[in-house]
């Protein structure tokens, strides 16, 4: 069973988070700031992350743990279910974030 755990941990390379302003962000697992054990992260946990600049830092709730492809697929589904009036009225400056109702 140990190899399977290693396999699972290598799959969790990214997290999809939702911030207070309802923006979605795909964050590299290595950029997360941990206040407790990395292995205990789960959906619904609050996390903070570092970026190259102050604007790239943030805080939000985890909604997906997985590979970059899994996070992007989930983000796409969420974006497609947004009402068109809301998604066109609020456009964030970052290409990796979009408002969520």
Per-residue pLDDT of 31-41, as tens digits, reads: 888 777 777 88
Domain assignment of residue 101, yes or no = no
C-alpha span between 58 and 92 (Å, rounded) = 14
Domain presence at residue 94? no
User: Does 8 have pLDDT greater than 60?
Assistant: no
Residue 66 belongs to some domain of the structure: yes
Tokens of residue 23, six digits: 């923006």
Q: What residues make up the domain containing 68? A: 2-89
Q: How many structural domains are present in the chain? A: 1
What pTM value is reported for the model?
A: 0.66
Which residue did the predictor score with more confidence, 56 or 9? Answer: 56
| Distance (Å, whole) CA 59 – CA 20 | 8
Distance between alpha carbon 22 and the CA centroid of its chain, in Å?
12
Q: For the chain, how many residues are written?
A: 101
């Amino acid at each position: 069973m140990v190899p399977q755990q290693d396999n699972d941990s290598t799959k969790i390379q990214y997290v999809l988070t939702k911030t207070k302003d309802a923006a979605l962000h795909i964050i590299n697992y290595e950029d997360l700031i941990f206040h407790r054990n990395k292995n205990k992260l789960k959906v619904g946990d609050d996390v903070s992350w570092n970026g190259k600049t102050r604007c790239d830092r943030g805080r939000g709730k985890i909604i997906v743990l997985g590979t970059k492809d899994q996070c992007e697929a989930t983000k796409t589904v969420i974006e497609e279910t947004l009402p068109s009036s809301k998604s066109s009225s609020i456009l964030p400056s970052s290409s990796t974030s979009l408002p969520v109702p």
